[in-house]
Amino acid sequence: MLAVFAVLLATGGPLGLRTQGPLRELFLDMTGADARPIDRPEIDIRWTMANTWNEPMTLQRGSDSAEQELDEQADALTLLLKAPWPGFTNVWTSIEWKVTEHWGGWSDTPIEAWHWLVGAFNYQRSMYPRNKVVLVYRDVGGEAFNVHSATVAPGDLTARTQVSLLDAPVAVAARLDLKLPVGSLSRAGGSGGVDVGAGLVATWPISSWATLHALAAVSRFSNLSAPTALQPKPWHVTAEVSFELEVLGQTLLIEDRVLSPLLEPGWTRSASGLEVSEDALLSSGVYADFRAHNQISIGLRRGRFSTWISEDFTPGHNGASVVKWAWVSNAPDFVIGIAFTQGL
């Protein structure tokens, strides 16, 4: 599950959400944007808090084995500077960088209280200490990270360039994104590799009070810089739809983001004892690693400030759950944040 708070300019556009989580955020994330050109630089500063919960898990592929555990609160501060190209009215580039603190935080107890209040499955959280940080990703090939205390992690640098192709009645633009490895993999800050993505964005002003945005993109990921046997899939697909609705001087946003599975297939979860139960399977990181991720967001924007809440709720067969036709990854389970955007 996922929740986020952020901000954009009063001129509108999608929320620009990335999909958070300790593994997803190591790699390039193609984010939505307004397809119409910009006429001045913008700066965006946002803080987000993500709670992730996946209990210890062992994976097997033939004679190879891997260990993984993701339990943390991640507070991230992101800085984004966007500017049109000098002499061009239809091209802009943004530079984006973030720094994350991985720590135990305070959010486990409120999440468990919410699960109890609505009668939701608690994903075996009560079996483990609250407000602890444990980030483990290692296997027979090597170790990516092994974090057990509060850690500040500089992230990778992302450059996004957008070229307007059509401006009316439906605006269409081409996007090229590049992620450079300036972050630290051992601190769970970045993958240590270069990722690149390309796609198309579209904006359709349906009326003076409603606008529809869309993104379709494909990305190529590099392997983790650590020599682990478990690596990401090389090719990835992202699709997003965002709907803006003007209501009483504010903007209501409804968005849906779909990402293809993150890690390469062929691995299976190895379970014994209490781990054999379906509850243990649902509480593990199998879905976050090897199945698609669907993120639904509802946001509210007023002027330069916006807030939103997001949940990952992915359609598909889930025989282990009471709800048989959908699943959640819990990486992350919950996110909140705030951001500020200003034209320069």
Q: Which residues contact 90 (CB under 8 A, 6 or more apart)?
A: 37, 163, 164
Mean pLDDT of 302-324: 86
Give residue 318's pLDDT band: very low, low, confident or very high (50, 70, 90): confident
pTM tops 0.75: yes
Checking if the pLDDT of 9 tops 50, the result is no
8 Å CB contact between 281 and 328: no
Burial code of 209-230, b = ≥16 C-beta within 10 A, e = fewer?
Answer: eebebbbebebebbebbbebbb
Give residue 4's pLDDT band: very low, low, confident or very high (50, 70, 90): very low
Q: In 10 A of CB 167, how many CB atoms?
A: 15
The pLDDT, as a whole number, for residue 192 is 96
> Nearest Cα to 57, choosing from 267, 286, 226?
286
Checking if the pLDDT of 305 tops 70, the result is yes
8 Å CB contact between 300 and 251: yes
| CATH node for 24-343 | 2.40.160.40
Residues of the chain above pLDDT 70, percent: 95
Q: Six-digit token pair at 265? A: 């297939």
pLDDT in tens, 120-132: 888 888 888 889 9
Mean pLDDT of 137-149: 96
| Residue that wins the pLDDT comparison between 275 and 38 | 38
Mean pLDDT of 254-283: 86
8 Å CB contact between 33 and 162: yes
- What is the Cα–Cα distance from 202 to 166, expressed in whole angstroms? 9
Checking if the pLDDT of 163 tops 90, the result is yes
